[in-house]
């Protein structure tokens, strides 16, 4: 399977990349990494295809997506007029690529309850409109999409999470980047998981906390 990661220099993206390149479960994955400054991942050039990709430039997104089977957009789209989401959707349709995983934030459906939900809404308010619209654009695109709603992130070396779907209350307030990467990799191995859905990923032990747990 040909798997493209866009915004491939992010912390979660790099965990995904290292596991794909080093674990036998992923030996059949052909990895392409797209990022604005390709030299930052030059060390992976012997193991993966590394491309310079500015997500705001349609031609560069097109070039990266051509020939892929699965695309992960490892950044939340806060661009003006949701140019990033629109560019990805256009490129996928141009090249008949249907499966996409797209990073987003928790709270886009007002699905986070209690004091933490109130705090999170206030904390994310400046970027909330573009985050909501990114999800809506994907839902209306006709693509096989999964929106990944991430919690407040920490660097704990643990894999411990629960997944909630579109119409379920969000469980937890925080989660380890290792956990988010693991959830993504489960979909890489089984792409039919959570098709045309939006999933929340967080450590259930943090449920009920009023602020992020680091």
What is the model's pLDDT at position 1?
97
- Taking alpha carbons only, the member of 193, 195, 194, 185 closest to residue 29 is 185
Mean pLDDT across 107-131: 94
Residue 181: exposed, middle, or buried by beta-carbon count in 10 A (0-12, 13-18, 19+)? buried
Which residue did the predictor score with more confidence, 167 or 78?
78
Mean predicted confidence (pLDDT) in 80-96: 98
Greatest alpha-carbon pair distance for the chain in Å reads 48
Decide: 19 and 44 in contact? Cβ < 8 Å.
no
14-22 average pLDDT score: 98
CA dihedral 115, 116, 121, 122 (to 10 degrees): 70
Q: What stretch of H or E contains 199?
A: strand 197-202
Structure-block tokens of residue 48: 């993966």
Instruction: Phi first, then psi: give them for residue 20, nearest 5 degrees.
Output: -60, -40
Average pLDDT over residues 67-91: 98
Could you tell me what percent of the chain has a pLDDT over 70?
100
Token pair, residue 125, equals: 């308010």
pLDDT for 122 equals: 95
CA angle 44, 73, 71 (to 5 degrees): 75
What's residue 214's pLDDT? 84
- pLDDT at residue 124, rounded to an integer: 95
Contact, 86 vs 137, CB < 8 A?
yes
SS3 category, 37: coil
Q: How far apart are CA 178 and CA 11, in angstroms?
A: 9
Given a cut of 90, is residue 14 above it in pLDDT? yes
**CA 165 to CA 178: how far, in whole Å?**
20
pLDDT reported for residue 106: 95
């Amino acid at each position: 399977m040909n798997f493209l990661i866009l915004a491939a220099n992010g912390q979660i993206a790099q965990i995904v990349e290292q596991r794909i390149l080093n674990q036998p479960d992923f030996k059949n994955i052909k990895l392409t990494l797209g990022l604005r400054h390709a030299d930052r991942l030059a060390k992976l050039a012997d193991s993966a295809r590394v491309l310079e990709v500015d997500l705001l430039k349609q031609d560069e997104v097109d070039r990266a997506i051509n020939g892929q089977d699965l695309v992960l957009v490892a950044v939340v789209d806060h661009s003006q007029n949701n140019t990033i989401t629109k560019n990805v959707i256009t490129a996928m349709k141009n090249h008949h690529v249907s499966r996409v995983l797209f990073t987003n934030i928790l709270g886009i459906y007002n699905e986070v309850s209690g004091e933490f939900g109130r705090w999170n809404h206030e904390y994310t308010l400046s970027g909330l409109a573009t985050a909501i619209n990114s999800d809506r654009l994907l839902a209306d695109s006709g693509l096989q999409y999964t929106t990944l709603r991430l919690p407040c992130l920490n660097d704990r070396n643990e894999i411990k999470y629960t997944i909630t779907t579109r119409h379920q209350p969000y469980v937890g307030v925080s989660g380890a980047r290792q956990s988010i990467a693991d959830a993504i990799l489960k979909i890489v191995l089984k792409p039919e998981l959570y098709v045309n859905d939006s999933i929340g990923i967080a450590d259930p032990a943090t449920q009920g906390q009023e602020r992020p747990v680091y």
